[in-house]
């Protein structure tokens, strides 16, 4: 976001259409990169588009230009969550149906999906899930290694597992839809 100067943001806030266009062009790449870490792959472009639309609509209400990058990333993250909730709201999945979906997949497909799910995690979630589930460290050991509280470690682990689960359920549902269409 270094390319988005304070002056450009202020001019866009002031109603300069050319500055707003330039601002959107300059921040689109960073928004897209950030969305790839927080969205299911199929939702990245939609989340970025919706986030940029919100930027256009609400930029004038931003209090300080210095907080633009953090605000943009917050908007992108919220759009990713909103789109994910909408995607998962179409079909209520019980545990048995989830297990059946995964049982229909090959072990190689599941490994690849797990790798992609882990890659999609923010670094602080990835770190804690790798330490706990792959290196098999205890929560106490994780806290010592990361210099975080027990509550923080547990919260990050829980959130990381939920994000991986959501990703895998979404990937599984997409694969089943594609298979059904053939």
pLDDT at 89: 53
As given in the structure block, the two tokens for residue 121 are: 């995690």
CATH class of 6-88: mainly alpha
Determine phi and psi for 108, rounding to 5 degrees: -65, -40
pLDDT at 90: 46
**pTM attached to this predicted model:** 0.48
pLDDT, tens only, 122-149: 889 999 999 998 889 999 999 999 999 9
Contact predicate 72/27, CB 8 Å: yes
Type and span of the H or E element at 168: helix 150-181
- The domain segmentation of the chain, as residue ranges, is 6-88, 91-181
pLDDT at 63: 81
DSSP per-residue letters across 15-42:
T-HHHHHHHHHHHHHHHHHHHHHHS-GG
pLDDT at 172: 57
- Other C-beta atoms lying within 10 Å of the C-beta of residue 94: 8
pLDDT at 175: 54
pLDDT at 129: 92
Per-residue pLDDT of the chain (182 residues; tens, 9 = 90+): 545 778 889 999 999 999 999 999 999 998 988 888 887 777 788 888 999 998 898 888 888 888 888 889 888 888 888 887 776 554 555 566 667 766 777 788 878 888 888 888 888 999 999 999 888 999 999 999 999 999 999 999 998 888 888 887 776 555 554 455 44
As given in the structure block, the two tokens for residue 86 are: 């909408």
pLDDT at 2: 46
Which parts of 14-138 fold into alpha helices (H)? 17-38, 44-58, 68-89, 95-103, 107-119, 123-129
pLDDT at 148: 93
Altogether, the residues listed in the chain come to a count of 182
In CATH, what number does 91-181 get? 1.10.10.10
pLDDT at 176: 53
């Amino acid at each position: 976001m270094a390319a988005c100067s304070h002056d450009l943001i202020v001019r866009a806030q002031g109603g300069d259409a050319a500055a707003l266009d330039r601002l959107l062009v300059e921040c689109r790449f960073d928004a897209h990169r950030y969305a790839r870490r927080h969205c299911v792959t199929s939702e990245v472009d939609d989340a970025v588009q919706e986030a940029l639309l919100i930027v256009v609509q609400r930029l004038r209400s931003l209090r300080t230009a210095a907080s633009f990058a953090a605000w943009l990333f917050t908007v992108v993250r919220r759009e990713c969550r909103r789109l994910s909730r909408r995607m998962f709201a179409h079909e209520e999945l019980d545990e048995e149906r989830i297990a059946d979906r995964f049982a229909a997949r090959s072990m190689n497909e599941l490994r690849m999906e797990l790798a992609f799910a882990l890659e999609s995690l923010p670094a602080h979630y990835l770190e804690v899930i790798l330490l706990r589930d792959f290196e098999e460290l205890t929560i106490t050991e994780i806290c010592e290694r990361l210099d975080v509280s027990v509550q923080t470690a547990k919260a990050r682990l829980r959130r990381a597992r939920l994000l991986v689960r959501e990703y895998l359920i979404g990937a599984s549902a997409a694969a089943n839809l594609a298979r059904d269409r053939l």
